[in-house]
Structure 1
Amino acid sequence: MRVAVLPSADEAERHVAALFAAQLRRKPDSVLGLATGGTPVGVYRALVAAHRAGEADFGKARTFNLDEYAGVPPSHPQSYAAYMRTHLFDHVNLSPDRTHLPEGDADRAEDACRLYDALYRYYGPADLQLLGIGANGHIGFNEPGFVSATGGTQVVRLAESTRRANARFFGEGEQVPAYALTMSAGRILQARSIVLLATGAAKAAIVARALEGPIGTDCPASLLQLHPDATVVLDLEAAGALAPERG
Structure 2
Amino acid sequence: MRIYCEKDYDAMSRRAANLISAEVIRRPDCVLGLATGSTPEGTYKQLVAWNQRGDFSFKEVRSVNLDEYRGLAPDHDQSYRYFMQKHLFDHVDIRPENTWVPDGLAEDPAAECARYDELIRSLGYADLQLLGVGRNGHIGFNEPDEDFMKPTHVVDLAENTIDANARFFASRDEVPKQAFTMGIGCIMAARRVLLLASGTNKADAIYNAVCGPITPRCPGSILQLHNDVVLVGDEAALSKLIEAGVCVCG
Question: Shared fold (TM-score greater than 0.5)?
Answer: yes
What per-residue deviation string (whole Å, max 9, x for no partner) do you get for residues 125-179 of structure 1? 1000000000000000000015535x32101100010011001111247511010
1:162-173 matches, within 5 Å, as 162-172=161-171
1:1-247 matches, within 5 Å, as 1-145=1-145, 147-149=147-149, 151-172=150-171, 175-242=174-241, 243-247=244-248
Deviates more, 1:42-51 or 1:174-183: 174-183
Does structure 1 retain, via aligned residues, the 8 Å contact 2:197–2:232? yes
SS of the residue corresponding to residue 117 of structure 1 reads helix
Does structure 1 retain, via aligned residues, the 8 Å contact 2:17–2:44? yes
Does structure 2 retain, via aligned residues, the 8 Å contact 1:7–1:236? yes
User: Please, what TM-score do these two structures have when normalized by structure 2?
Assistant: 0.95
Q: Distance in 2 between matches of 1:218 and 1:240?
A: 22
Quick one: structure 1 residues 145 and 126, their matched pair in 2 at CA, closer, same or farther if it must change by over 3 Å?
A: same
CA apart distance, 1:187? 1.3
Does structure 1 retain, via aligned residues, the 8 Å contact 2:166–2:172? no
Q: Aligned residues, how many? A: 246
Quick one: structure 1 residues 83 and 146, their matched pair in 2 at CA, closer, same or farther if it must change by over 3 Å?
A: farther
The amino acid across from 1:201 in the alignment is T
Q: After TM superposition, where is structure 1 displaced by more than 6 Å over at least 4 residues in a row?
A: none
Structure 1, unaligned runs of 5 or more: none
Does structure 1 retain, via aligned residues, the 8 Å contact 2:39–2:196? yes
The amino acid across from 1:159 in the alignment is A
RMSD over aligned Cα atoms: 1.2
The amino acid across from 2:194 in the alignment is V
